[in-house]
């Protein structure tokens, strides 16, 4: 029997959308493919998976409960409402770091002047989950362009994660949009596992293996 049987796991995936006015927003290139693949892999091993998803064009994986959100604030609330009752979370979403201070209720008119939009920081969902972690499993992702392992390990420690999965934008075939990824898994002990370039589905199975082993090692 899988150690994931009966576990409740939250997976965040996709981009967030930060509104500027009723027709415009700030966002990023995340497609949600990696998070959806992880949600599917965990559900196939018997976990109850709640996928908190930003806007994507993907079908919900079999056996997964999906909660749709748009903004970082909505994603924060959707995760925090469910975190206490969960056994852990995989934070795969590309959450906006900044959001407009003011959202115009009407479509903003153009003028000949430059436009300045003031942004404020969003809440860090993974870091807040880290503060409330208790004995739950927590995995985060890091997309880095330089000093990759050092930055990723710093994030693991700051956010109190059990694992951080590193994608380097330097690796061809890794990161956003494509169907392949080249990941490095770093755990709390600082142990580093470099994985080959492979399909996101294969990378998701590898990630599910590590999560399953984490629960198995705790005998829970």
Q: Is residue 68 within 8 Å of residue 90, measured between CB atoms?
A: no
135-174 footprint of ligand C5P as x/- string (CB under 6 A): -----xxx------------x-------------------
Lookup result for tokens 């080249």: 182
11 binds ligand C5P (CB under 6 A): no
Q: Which of 95, 138, 183, 203 binds ligand C5P (CB under 6 A)?
A: 95
Q: Which of 38, 49, 69, 125 binds ligand C5P (CB under 6 A)?
A: 125
Q: Is residue 53 within 8 Å of residue 10, measured between CB atoms?
A: no
Footprint of ligand C5P on residues 65-84 (CB under 6 A)? 72
Question: Which of 101-109, 116-124, 174-182, 212-220 is the region at the interface with ligand C5P (rule: CB under 6 A)?
Answer: 116-124
Which of 137, 142, 27 lies closest to 90 in space, CA to CA?
Answer: 137
Positions marked active-site: 28
Question: 202: buried, middle or exposed (CB in 10 Å: 19+, 13-18, 0-12)?
Answer: middle
- Could you give the CA distance from residue 206 to residue 29 in angstroms, rounded to a whole number? 24
Q: Which residues bind ligand C5P (CB under 6 A)?
A: 12, 72, 91, 93, 95, 122-126, 140-142, 155
């Amino acid at each position: 029997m899988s150690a994931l049987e009966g576990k409740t796991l939250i997976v965040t995936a996709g981009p967030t959308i930060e509104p500027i006015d009723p027709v415009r927003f700030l966002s990023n290139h995340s497609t949600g493919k990696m998070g959806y693949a992880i949600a599917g892999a965990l559900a196939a091993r018997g976990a109850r998976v709640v996928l908190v998803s930003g806007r994507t064009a993907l079908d919900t994986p079999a056996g997964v409960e999906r909660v749709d959100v748009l903004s970082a604030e909505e994603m924060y609330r959707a995760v925090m409402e469910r975190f206490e009752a969960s056994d852990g979370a995989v934070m795969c979403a590309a959450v906006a770091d900044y959001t407009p201070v003011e959202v115009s209720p009407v479509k903003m008119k153009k003028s000949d002047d430059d436009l300045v939009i003031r942004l404020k920081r969003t809440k860090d969902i993974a870091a807040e989950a880290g503060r409330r972690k208790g004995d739950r499993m927590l995995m985060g992702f890091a997309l880095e362009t330089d000093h990759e392992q050092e930055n990723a390990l710093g994030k693991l420690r700051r956010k109190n994660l059990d694992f951080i999965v590193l994608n380097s934008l330097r690796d061809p075939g890794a990161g956003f949009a494509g169907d392949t990824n080249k990941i490095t898994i770093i755990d709390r002990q600082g142990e580093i596992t470099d994985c080959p370039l492979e399909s996101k589905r294969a990378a998701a199975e590898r990630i599910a293996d590590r999560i399953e082993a984490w629960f198995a090692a705790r005998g829970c």
